[in-house]
Copies of this chain bind each other. A is one copy, B any other.
Amino acid sequence: MNASAPLDGLTVLEISSFVAAPLGGLTLAQLGADVIRIDPVGGRADLGRWPLAPSGTSLYWTGLNKGKRSVTLNFGDAEGRRLLGGLLAASGPGGGIVLTNARQDWLAYPALARIRADLIHLRIQGHRDGRAAVDYTVNAATGFPLITGPEGLEGPVNHVLPAWDVTCGLYAAIGLLAAERRRQRTGAGSAITLALADVALAVAGHLGFLAQAQVTGTDRPRIGNHLYGGLARDFRTADGERVMVVALTRRHFADLAAVTGLAGTLAGLEQLLGADFGEEGDRYRHRKVITALLEPWFADRTAAAVERDLTGTSVLWSRYRRFTDLAADGTLAASPLLHQITQPGVGPLLAPGSPLAMDGTAGPDPAPELGADNAAVLTGLLGLSAADIRALADRGIIGGS
């Protein structure tokens, strides 16, 4: 094995905002790429996005830009735009890579490929035809909100996790790595378009939602916290907590029946109903009666007692937690994923590195302050002197430091 970072030598220029493009860059940075986020002087619209630290620093922006370098250029001035082109030209054999969700023509593939013929350029956009969209509109358009939430509820339930933005950002990282692999083999660059709406539709298709609608002409019902096609649900415990319990396989279900003392009752019920609870389909069809029989077992026990009894069985389960629970109960501190960083504008903080546990990766680095790397990047890549950089800042071509 080896200690070099997986993406050692890769350099990405990221001209981005909000979630998807920054998460794509973050993912590559946490595997060792040099990701330089280039913003207009003063930053983009995501710079102050909630949640905020008491100082006003955005916990959202700092979370999504960890381990990157930050450069600020005056995009409105031809000289600022030329500096971006210069960085692209100077970014080395593992560079020439642009990740963006910006829509300006001078940041598009045709313009930048004139600077570097082997350019790899990935643009994230709302729809493939260029129309704008964001996670919340794409989610509404795709079908999930109308089957999410309690049975009988009227109207849509939006997700809180911006799942399409997250998914899109990871697809972007995949697209850049795939294109760079091809460039190493053939020398050719790539122009890649990635539409948020396509991401949602692709995932809905891969998971069978679109096929179900096409083949059966029906949508899944809104079934609350039950699992479609299986047996899983939340239960309330004696102390008012909630636990999620999942019996995916025959073995899980047998263990759940045994631990709750309901093996005989459930076997009798199978006979009465002519069902086979060893089959996932029958567990799903009879989910309401099965879970109604299970409810009292949970309602009679504290969450701690549930934990004691289910531990050691194959049953999959978890308490429901709040983010503040994870911070307060030591979960975050105990996780090998999170490391203490000192985030400018925020202070000490437990922050996650890459969930890909592999050698050559380190813990998370903090996010830069906006424009913090102007001098280092312009000197390192373009060879500018301190006096050059001061002059550029004085003339407003780059942000002040």
Contacts and interface: CB of A to CB of B under 8 A. Distances in A.
Contact of A225 (B158, B214, B338): B158
Contacts of A265: none
Interface in A99-149: 128, 132-134, 136-149
Interface stretch (A75-83, A289-297, A352-360, A378-386): A352-360
A188 B49 contact: no
Interface string A235-250: 0100000111010110
Interface of A is mostly: mixed
Contacts of A317: 137
A153 B155 contact: no
A2 B207 CA distance: 31
- The count of identical subunits is 2
Interface in A169-190: 170-171, 173-175, 177-182, 184-186, 188-190
A50 B320 contact: no
Interface residues of A, number: 155
A225 B195 CA distance: 23
Interface string A183-206: 011101111111100110111111
A192 B110 CA distance: 38
A390 interface: no
A213 interface: yes
A90 to B, nearest CB: 21
A203 B166 contact: yes
A355 B54 CA distance: 39
8 contacts: A4-B185, A4-B186, A140-B242, A146-B322, A157-B225, A193-B358, A195-B357, A210-B327
